[in-house]
Structure 1
Amino acid sequence: MTSTPDYTTLNSPSFQTAESPLRQSQRGRLPNGVYVPMIAFFDVNGGIDIASTQRHTARLLDADVAGLVVHGSNGEAVHMSRDERRTVIKAVADAVRHASDSHAPVPIIAGCGAQSMWETVELCREAQSAGATHALILPPGYYSGILSKDAIVSFFHQVASQSPLPVLIYNFPAAANGVDLDSDTLLRIAAHPNIVGVKLTCGNTGKLARVVAGVSKVRGGRKDFFVGGGSADFILQGLVVGAHGTISGFANLAPRACVRIGHLFEEGRLAEAMELQHQVAEADWLAIRYGFVGVKAAMSMFHGEQEKPCTHPRLPFTSHTEDSTAAREIWEGMSGVLAIENDLVAATKQ
């Protein structure tokens, strides 16, 4: 088996060759909390809706989320051109800068996954130039049948050594042709100092616990690696075993409820955290079942009819009609959390 390079100090020659002032300033661990993989907003002509994108950015910042993710699985990046990807990142970055007077700076994590190391690095560079602070990268899965674990580890290390952005691993087998990185492989990848976190959408909380327990060892004792679940239905379970937060698509709809679970846990109010987690998990099951199309259908239910024109998915997907089975199930399954979210919004205005 190919050995993993020794990246246990920042003086590693393998890393020095790709050092940059930008990365020096961003190497600290991502702050704990809820990160939102934003949905994509399109106007009536199918183009990027900058105004709606920025309105949603401001809404999420007001909910006290820890950071934003663009071009995640909820963000339809695979339906966009490279220019459109840059436009979305820039729109979000501009909105974050505009809100900087009333909010602390927040990370902007851009999905930059591609099948080759070369294109992945190009996407990282383009994301950085548009205003992203971090890159989220899937393992390449197109040729998964002949791709070894050693090759995947090397892929991430090569990308991390050349990316101008700190890198997060995105473990989502459904989006990577079934590639599911085990905890041993994740820890090998995490040895690189420019790899600063992982999103575990696989839902394996045992794997999450093993990564939390092992990551400081492979990073020379440093505690600068963010471990987060990738779904709102196990926020609390992750926190109990040491996760630092979550990157959850359902937070597009109910960000305050997701944030509240973490606050209750930190305050030691476990029974209340469990009850809220139960309700969020029930609602999130609809978002999981219907994917980003379901999340988009729920936007007008949660945030008003004005969201409906800008939340249509791009072909080959179409919106759920109001009288469809999906729309009825989404409303019935999410209405409880909708009420909680509205109460939390009202509480901030008192």
Structure 2
Amino acid sequence: MNGHRESRQLKPGINVPMVTIFKENEDVDVEAVAKHAVRLVKAGLTSITCQGSNGEAVHLTKEERILVTSTVRKAIDEAGFSDVPIVVGCAAQSVRETVEFCRDAHKAGGDYALVLPPSYYKAAYKPENFVEYFQDVADDSPIPILIYNYPGAVAGVDLDSDTIIKLAKHPNIRGCKLTCGNTGKLNRIAHAVKAATPSDRGSGWMCMGGSADFTIQTLIAGGSGIITGLGNVVPKACVKVFNLYAEGKIDEAQKVQAIVARGDWGVIAGGITGTKAALESYYGYGGYARRPLPKPSKDDVARYEAMLKEVVDFENSL
């Protein structure tokens, strides 16, 4: 390994993969990105993600990725949150380009790299190739790696618990995000690696769920928290579920979890388009995703508003 630095420490809690906001001409809206990042960290996040799936990483150029990360780092530092780590989506199809993205993230102020498995040549890969990919990236990345297991985004590639537990032994692989929704897998990994939890720092390894609708399930299973797209719209509500559980207020946590889960279905159904539409409807910013993602119709917007109204009302009560 070469050039690794000690990153800001990840702590159990809620992380939001923030949307990237564009102007009408599809240029990155730097001012809006900064404003959104500050709103999120003020809600009590323990870390924040740039260039996740919600951030339209696949729609950004190399230069734009650097711009977004550096903008977020500067904005949250100036707002008094210089201790909050930034996780940066760095996945590419080759080891070489993924490492390059990791180096860019490092230079732009990122602390951790969120990395998907390669999938374009899926038919040519054997199970050991995925292990080698993550190990090779981790060897050369200047920042620690979080494994991103999201079968829906990578042609169905679904890393099993044995693979992730094996990869956790690498000193520069510090966690995972499981958007597969498999709490059994999460439980096996969390206990094998002695993951950090709200009550016990354990090994410090972060075993994160990938959706706000199973926050409590993740924590009960021994996980570290959630990286949730819903948090773009209602970050305080997502943090509330985590905090209530951490305080031992399980009955209250369950009630809030139900509200959050109903709201999460709105952004799961609407994807990035629905998330941005809800931001625009309720907070006056968000805009549209980059083409070829569609713009929502008036009926779509009304549907997303209705699906998220309950959780937004709860957010605004906090």
TM-score for the superposition, normalised by structure 1: 0.86
Residue-by-residue CA offset, 1:189-232 (whole Å, 9 max, x unaligned):
11101000100000001100000011149xxx970210110011
Q: Take 1:112 and 1:85, find their aligned partners in 2: how far apart are those partners?
A: 9
Give the AA of the match of 2:57. Answer: A
Which of 11, 17, 41 is the matching residue for 1:61?
41
Worse-matched range after superposition: 196-205 or 278-287: 278-287
Which of 337, 342, 346 is the matching residue for 2:316?
342
1:34 is paired with a residue of what secondary structure? strand
Structure 1 position 198 matched with structure 2 position 176: yes
CA contact (8 A) 1:29 1:225 kept: no
Which of 280, 296, 301 is the matching residue for 1:320?
296
Q: Take 2:212 and 2:56, find their aligned partners in 1: how far apart are those partners?
A: 19
Find the counterpart in structure 1 of residue 306 from structure 2.
332
CA contact (8 A) 1:29 1:196 kept: no
2:207 is paired with a residue of what secondary structure? strand
2:54 is paired with a residue of what secondary structure? helix
CA contact (8 A) 2:76 2:82 kept: no
Residue-by-residue CA offset, 1:49-95 (whole Å, 9 max, x unaligned):
00000000110111011111011000111111111111111111111
Structure 1 position 293 matched with structure 2 position 273: yes
Q: Take 2:18 and 2:132, find their aligned partners in 1: how far apart are those partners?
A: 29
Which of 72, 88, 101 is the matching residue for 1:110?
88
Q: How many residue pairs get matched?
A: 313
Q: Take 1:342 and 1:156, find their aligned partners in 2: how far apart are those partners?
A: 41
Residues 1-350 of structure 1 mapped to structure 2, 5 A cutoff: 18-20=1-3, 22-23=4-5, 25-26=6-7, 30-100=10-80, 103=81, 105-216=83-194, 223-303=203-283, 305=284, 307=285, 310-321=286-297, 323-324=298-299, 326-344=300-318
**Aligned alpha-carbon RMSD (Å):** 1.6
Find the counterpart in structure 1 of residue 198 from structure 2.
none
Give the greater-gyration-radius structure (CA).
Answer: 1
Give the AA of the match of 2:313. Answer: A
Give the AA of the match of 1:37. Answer: P
- Per the TM alignment, residue 301 of structure 1 is displaced from its structure 2 partner at its CA by 2.5
CA shift in 2, pair 1:115/1:93, >3 Å: same
CA shift in 2, pair 1:301/1:118, >3 Å: same
Task: Structure 1: give runs of 5+ residues left out of the alignment.
Answer: 1-17, 345-350
CA contact (8 A) 1:69 1:111 kept: yes
- Per the TM alignment, residue 29 of structure 1 is displaced from its structure 2 partner at its CA by 5.2
Q: Take 2:246 and 2:267, find their aligned partners in 1: how far apart are those partners?
A: 26
CA contact (8 A) 1:124 1:164 kept: yes
Q: Take 1:173 and 1:288, find their aligned partners in 2: how far apart are those partners?
A: 15
Give the AA of the match of 2:106. Answer: Q
Q: Take 1:189 and 1:293, find their aligned partners in 2: how far apart are those partners?
A: 34
Give the AA of the match of 2:317. Answer: D
1:239 is paired with a residue of what secondary structure? helix
CA shift in 2, pair 1:44/1:138, >3 Å: same
Q: Take 1:117 and 1:192, find their aligned partners in 2: how far apart are those partners?
A: 16
